[in-house]
Homo-oligomer: A and B are copies of this chain.
């Protein structure tokens, strides 16, 4: 499989939503249209079954079916699959399924009981052992959601000791100095670089790129904003990248609200025709009429600004 992620992977891996029908079923037609929507906006890859993919509300069979449909529709586009799970066996089973089906790598967040770096370190050794050394792994560093803070030093050590940890999904907050710290550690002789794609809805993407990130791995209902920002930046047009990006910030910062933001994102994606329904699975979030009117206004304002 030529399309495995590696330590030089860059670009935009869009965190994909999982579309549901209004009745709460996984909507496979919308998965296909959504994948086309993402591809049409130029993403480098997809990341599915992450936190914003409501993976923890799906049954294993539903996760398998989502993987199948996405991979089928994505064609050659690399797809990273989130496999975080309270149980290592379930994590490994899902990971094996995804890799067998052609995934480009797996994403895992720390999950080893109460916070403490030695526990997280031991956990990732166990995870990598369970997955097998040939499976590339993305370390998802998202303390706001996991409650598990991780020093740059531990990320670096894990990525050295476990060669298969090739990428960091960076979403510590504030986290800009962490990127700088990680890049400086790579100045030491013999230190393999780490691909760093950034999350947090992209809220600091230009700054993150300027500090050495390789791109974004996050959701945003306007993926073209992420794609163009990264492309311009990597073409050396740093100011143009930031100019373009800044036009999207008002709605991006609205979508980036924790929890609630998933409702915003799905609503925008529905309005843009990417998916048929904005439904999330219970217990939500759900947008009220006031919430939707607010998003409508932000979308209209963006359209005006882009025009």
Q: Which residues of A contact B (CB under 8 A)?
A: 24, 54, 56-60, 85-90, 111-118, 122-123, 126, 130, 143, 147, 149-154, 173-174, 176-177, 180, 203-204, 207, 210-211, 242, 246, 249-250, 253-254, 257-261, 281-285, 288, 290-291, 294, 301
Contact = CB atoms under 8 A, between A and B. Distances in A.
Contacts of A250: 242, 246, 249
Contact of A87 (B57, B143, B176, B260): B57
- Taking each of A58, A117, A173, which has the highest tally of chain B beta carbons within 10 Å of its own beta carbon? A117
Contact of A288 (B122, B177, B249, B290): B177
Contacts of A282: 87-89, 126, 130
A116 B151 contact: yes
Identical copies in the complex: 4
Nearest to A123: B283
Given A174-B261, A253-B249, A90 B59 contact: yes
Nearest to A20: B89
Contacts of A290: 177, 180, 211
Given A116-B150, A290-B211, A57 B89 contact: yes
Contacts of A89: 24, 57, 281-282
A301 B249 CA distance: 14
B258 A203 contact: no
Given A113-B259, A301-B242, A118 B153 contact: yes
Nearest to A112: B283
Contacts of A59: 60, 90
A281 B57 contact: no
Which 8 pairs show the lowest CB-CB distances between chains A and B?
A: A57-B87, A88-B282, A174-B257, A56-B86, A118-B151, A174-B260, A116-B149, A115-B149
A65 to B, nearest CB: 14
- Taking each of A88, A143, A285, which has the highest tally of chain B beta carbons within 10 Å of its own beta carbon? A88
A258 to B, nearest CB: 6
- Taking each of A113, A147, A174, A246, which has the highest tally of chain B beta carbons within 10 Å of its own beta carbon? A174
Contact of A283 (B88, B150, B152, B254): B88
Contacts of A130: 282
Contacts of A143: 114-116
